[in-house]
Amino acid sequence: MRLTRVVAAAAIALLLAGCATAEATRTVTVFAAASLTETFEQLAEKFEARREGVDVRLSFGGSSRLAEQLAEGAPADVFAAADDKAMAKAVQAGVIDGEPQRFARNRMTIAVAPGNPKKIDGLTGLRGDVVLVTCAPEVSCGRAAQALAANANVRLQPASEEPDVKSVLGKVAAGEADAGLVYVTDVRAAAGKVDAVPITGADAVANAYPIATTREAAEPDLARQFVEFVLSDEGQRVLRDAGFDAP
């Protein structure tokens, strides 16, 4: 009888320990622009390392689509967009808490195969037999590409329009396209797989990246802490090292 009670007590202790472990894990869910993939993975790892039992879950994609998902009720604690227009959609939908803060800027460039075999020298070189891919016009990188083309009086004729910048980069890296309009940070992240051709006037249409917590955040304190970390000196160093400009 005593042995039975000991075994039962041990089983209950293990069950309670398991529950305590589960309760100790807190999750902050971050929706972020695809161009932030590598940088936010680093930031998430650093954030978790300083907070025991905290897990950062990252969801990347085109900023406008992420804003739509938030408006449709997708659960997230933080939203980091690639331009103000995408953030404005989330604000107008009533899903953002407080005032978004800009934390970085990014410029467009032309991604080409290593060595630039097509000898593309700028936007005017994206003609003839050059297979070009861009982001769809409704997403941040697509809007930036259109603005660049308009300023340069160049008509872009992409073979495909992709849902986010990483899809554009992937097609160039895989040899499915000769050139793609992406951010400078994307080329840096894919070093060795693609080269960059600078675009004259890119600074004039650089994207400002805003970040904010959501109104229905499941972990509002953690959400605010994550935003503060991105804006901190350490967070800004990670962004600068990745090629982002100061906000």
* pLDDT tens-digit readout, 46-102: 999 999 999 999 999 999 999 999 999 999 999 999 999 999 999 999 999 999 999
The angle formed by the CA atoms of residues 56, 62 and 63, to the nearest 5 degrees, is 75
- Report the pLDDT value the prediction gives residue 110, as an integer from 0 to 100: 98
In the predicted structure, residue 28 carries a pLDDT above the cut 70: yes
* 3-state secondary structure at position 59: strand
Query: What's the rounded Cα separation, in Å, for the pair 136 and 34?
Result: 13
pLDDT tens digits for range 200-225 = 999 999 999 999 999 999 999 999 99
In the predicted structure, residue 149 carries a pLDDT above the cut 50: yes
Residue 246 DSSP symbol: P
Residue 12 — pLDDT band, cuts 50, 70, 90? Answer: very low
Cβ count near 214 (within 10 Å): 22
With CA atoms as reference, report the closest residue to 134 among 186, 201, 189, 203: 186
Task: Please give the model's pTM, rounded to 2 decimal places.
Answer: 0.87
Q: Which residues lie closer than 8 Å to 137 by C-beta, 6 or more apart?
A: 143, 146, 161
* 3-state secondary structure at position 22: helix
The angle formed by the CA atoms of residues 132, 134 and 137, to the nearest 5 degrees, is 140
Average pLDDT of the residues in 156-161: 96
